[in-house]
Amino acid sequence: MKGSLVISAVLALLAAGAYFLLATGVIPLPPLERAGGNEGGPSAAVAFYLGGSAYALGALLLLLVRRRWLRILGMIGNALVIIIFVSMYSRQPQVMFSTAGLTTKIPQILLEVVLVYLVARRTGSAAVPARS
C-alpha cells in the first residue's frame, strides 16, 4: 500500500508539473475551436497555476494524511477534471491528442487508476480473513 501511495503522489506531481509547464508557456496550447478562440491569455495561465497547485497539494496530502476519505475526494476531483476535459474537447482531436492534452491526461488517468485501487483495497486486520 505504501508503494501505491508513493506512485499516486508521483503521478499527481507529474500532473502538477504539466500544468505549471502549460502556465509558463513551455508546453504550447493547441488552437481551440470555441467562440472566444484560443484562450491562452492570462486567465488560462491562472487556471493552469491553480490546477498545478491543486495537484501538488494533493500529492503532499496523499503522503501525509493517510485517510480513505481524502483518497475518495481526490478520486472524485480527478475524475471530474478528466470528464470535463473529455466533454469539452471530445470533438477536437487536435486538442485531445495535443502535447498539452496528453501531458496532463496521461498522469491523471494513471492517477485515477491508482486512487481507485487505493479506495477499493481494504486495509487492516478486518479486511484479511483469518485462515484456519
Task: Give the pLDDT confidence score for residue 2 in this predicted structure.
Answer: 86
Q: Is the pLDDT of residue 33 over 70?
A: no
Torsion of CA 93, 98, 101, 105, to 10 degrees: 90
Work out the angle between the directed axes of helices 68-89 and 42-64 (0-180°, nearest 10). Answer: 150
- Residue 129's pLDDT is what? 54
Residues 9, 59: contact at Cβ < 8 Å? yes
pLDDT for the residue 49: 96
Q: pTM surpassing 0.75?
A: yes
Could you report the per-residue pLDDT of 62-120, keeping only the tens digit for each? 999 989 999 999 999 999 999 999 999 999 999 999 999 999 999 999 999 999 999 99
Spatial CA neighbour of 19 closest among 50, 57, 42: 50
* Burial track 96-113 (b if 16+ CB lie within 10 A, e otherwise): bebebbebbbebbebbbe
- What's the pLDDT score for residue 44? 85
CA–CA dist 111, 7 (Å, integer): 8
- Residue 113: all three cell numbers together: 487508476
Is the pLDDT reported for residue 125 higher than 70? no
| Segment 47-57, tens digit of pLDDT | 999 999 999 99
